Each structure stands twice: as structure tokens, then as C-alpha cells.
Amino acid sequence: MPDKRFFFNKGPFKVKEIFRILNKDLPNNLDGNFILDDVASLEDASKNDICFFSGSNKNIIPSQHSYGLSITSPEMMKTMLGCGSNVSVKNPLLAFSMVASMFYPKCSYLGNINKYVNSFIDETSVISPNAIIHPGVFIGANAKIENNVIIGSNSVIGNGVTIKEDSVIGPNSTIQFSDIGKNVIIDSGCRIGQEGFGFVFDENTKKHIRVPQLGIVKIDDDVTVGANCTIDRGFLTNTSIGEGCRIDNQVQIGHNVKLGKRCIIIAQVGISGSCVIGDDVILAGQVGVADHVTIDSNAKVAAKSGVMKNVKSGEAVMGYPAKKIRSFWREIAFISKSSKKH
């Protein structure tokens, strides 16, 4: 059950409201006005809590627990009968996530606070009266902060930055040279829009000369960026993050990168400059992508792989350098077999 010190419950809700959000008809044998106070795991649930049970944990016996309403799968309904009230859905975790978001809207852990306390807000910036600005925030000239935006403590919003409605910027983040879409979550400690890593070597002076980075970062709607990520602005074109992407903690995205829609980028991935990533691509943990590589839509890259050349649509690759998974395992089998001969 969520710890009330950190999470703010927007409930309670009635059973009929839960069924409505799940787009399910309320059975005649259920009291639609029954009050559900909170969400909880099946093990911790009380008679006024809502939980979910997918059957993945074989050690849990539903009959040993009490709950107000359980979200479960059609396959598990027989197991749940007699244990409490239940609603059957195709994807219990997805449905439970929707319900949990009713009780605990995104980033409700930031809470509400008096606006502009110990903050510097440039007089030319435009800030919605519905925005929440936490203490110690800096907002530069001509920035635009739209409705219901939340900006966490000690964050810096640079000159000209736009943050569209319902977006959240976590504490201690820096957003500059950027346009942020609607319903975007950027977690704590992120650096968005800083200068990309661009230098050219001057043979005459024997020095690395800085290449001006004159693009920006554009993050489309409904993107999540985890804690301590860095996304560099472009050289002459923009760095862009497509709608619906999910980026885990500690990811580095270089200048000019084009990330398609709904990509999943797992922790500690590094994407070098000028890469083009298609839609629905998955890069697993600690993947490295060399510069100017194209990874087409629906491709998958296994953890700790090094992508040195283009990956075609739908391919699954792994290893260093990355190659098709089937080829990788054939090589491993060959090496293993050869070593046994010696």
C-alpha cells in the first residue's frame, strides 16, 4: 500500500467509477456505490482496497486474503471466486495501472505548494495560473509554461523554453533550448538541451575547435524521461523524441538524434550523434549505438550490445558488434563446441 508520507491519495472512489474507467458493465450482484479507499497488493489489501491478481506469483493463495475488488484475468476468475468481488479483464496489470492512476495521478508525490516561493521568474515569461512552481526554480526570459505544468524544486527553465500542458519537470533538472510537449514527465536530475558534443580538429593550432550547436531539443507528447538522463540539442537540425517514448534512467542521447514513436530505451543506453531510430524500437540496458546509425522500426537490441551498423526493420540483434541473434548464438555454440575438443 502506498506510503502516505510520500504519495497523496485522490480517492476514495465508488465501484461503479472503477468499472466506468475500465469500460466494463457493472454486474447486478455488485454494489456500485461500495467505497474503495485505496490500491494495494493482494497480500496487503483490506476489505476496502482494490488489487490485481494475474496468477504470475504461484506462492499467493487468493483465498487467504481479503479485498474489496480484485482485477484479474478470465483464466484466474475461477481461482478468485468466493474470495471477494472481482472484475475480469484481458490485461489485469494494464487495467490496474489505469485505476491506480485515478488514486495517484502522475507525480502527485510532488504535492502542491505556494507558487514562486524563493524562485526567480523573469517578467517576460508567460506562466499559466494553474502551473505549480516549487521553491528555488529559475524561469528565464520568454519561457512559456502552460496549464497544469509542475516544475520541481531547484530546476532551471531556460530562455524561450516552452513546456506544454500537464507536463511535469522533476526537481534539480535543467531544460534549455527545448520545446516540451503535452503530458511529458521528465524526472529529477535531467539535463535537456545542453550543447552537443561537437568538435573539429584544427591541424594548424593542434586544438579541438568547438562546433556551435544551433539546433534545439523537441520532445513530443506523452513522453517519459527517467532520472539523470541527458538529451543534447542538435547541431543545425533538432534532436527529436517521438510521441509516446519511454526512456529509463541514466540514458544519454546525442545531438541530432531522431527517436521515433513509442520507443523503449532502457537504463544506461548511449545513442551517439545523428542516429535515426524508427518507431517501436527497443534498446535494452547498456546498449551503445555508434554515430550516424539507422535502426529501423520494430527492431530490438539485446542488453550490452554495441550497434556499429544499420539494423533493418523487425530485426533482433545482440552482441558486440551487434549481429542477428540467431547468428550470435550459432557463433557461441561453435566456440563452445570447439573449446571442448581442446
Residue 289 three-state SS: strand
Q: What is the dihedral of CA 177, 182, 183, 186, to 10 degrees?
A: 0
CA distance to 122, 124, 143, per residue, from 159 (Å)? 9, 10, 6
The answer for 332, left when phi > 0, alpha when psi is -120 to 50, beta otherwise, is alpha
DSSP letter assigned to residue 51 = E
> Are 11 and 36 in contact, with CB atoms under 8 Å apart?
yes
Q: Which one of 134, 255, 292, 342 is the catalytic residue?
A: 255
CA distance to 133, 245, 290, per residue, from 104 (Å)? 20, 22, 40
DSSP letter assigned to residue 311 = B
The 10 Å Cβ neighbour count of residue 101 is: 14
Active site residue 255: yes
Sheet of 38-39, strands arranged across: 38-39, 49-53, 69-72, 85-88
Closest Cα partner for 254 from 208, 289, 300? 289
Catalytic annotation, residues: 255
